[in-house]
Amino acid sequence: MKTDSNFTIFYTDDDPEDLEFFREATQSIDQSVELVTLSNGKELIDILDNPPPTPHLVFLDVNMPGLTGFDVLQHVRKTESREQLPIVMFTTSNDQVIIETSLRLGANFFVQKSSSFPNLKKSIEHAIKIDWSKFKTTSDNFVYAA
């Protein structure tokens, strides 16, 4: 697990209940995690363009009005300084087309949202434990399996 005293996660989702559920799960993790929640893709792009803070990891909902998670992912990957920013696509769907599109557009990881608090917490902890500087995304390790 990361030992940084300020491990920053950005989570972008248009659903206030999902944002709060994620916040509660993140706060229950036994480590210092700073969570920045954003309600749409434009907010995420704006904060990435105007740091601090700078995220160590981004969780990004796929289905949002306006800029979708795919739109934001494409925008982020076009910026050279953010090519290595770990992005986890986070959605209720486990549709193979969405998974394949996420991988093709440059996401590092894919997690299906869980309505179970223990499973949500476990998926966040798993993503935090990954050494993203060494992680090489492949179709075999792309999808989180609880």
Q: What are the structural domain ranges in the chain?
A: 7-129
Residue 104's pLDDT is 97
What confidence score (pLDDT) does residue 4 get?
44
User: What are the tokens at 19?
Assistant: 């944002």
Q: How far apart are CA 40 and CA 9, in angstroms?
A: 15
- Tell me, what's the pLDDT at 48? 95
Give the model's pLDDT for residue 5.
57
Domain 7-129, architecture per CATH:
3-Layer(aba) Sandwich (3.40)
Q: Report the chain's terminal Cα–Cα distance, integer Å.
A: 18
- Mean pLDDT in order along the chain per 10 residues (146 residues): 68 97 92 92 96 95 96 94 93 95 97 95 95 95 90
Return the SS3 of 45: helix
pLDDT of the residue at 1: 38
User: 8 and 34 in contact (C-beta within 8 Å)?
Assistant: yes
What confidence score (pLDDT) does residue 16 get? 97
Whole-number pLDDT of residue 32: 83
Tell how far CA 45 is from the center of its chain: 14
Q: How far apart, in whole angstroms, are the C-alpha atoms of residue 4 and residue 1?
A: 9
Q: Can you give the pLDDT at residue 145?
A: 83
Note the pLDDT of residue 3: 42
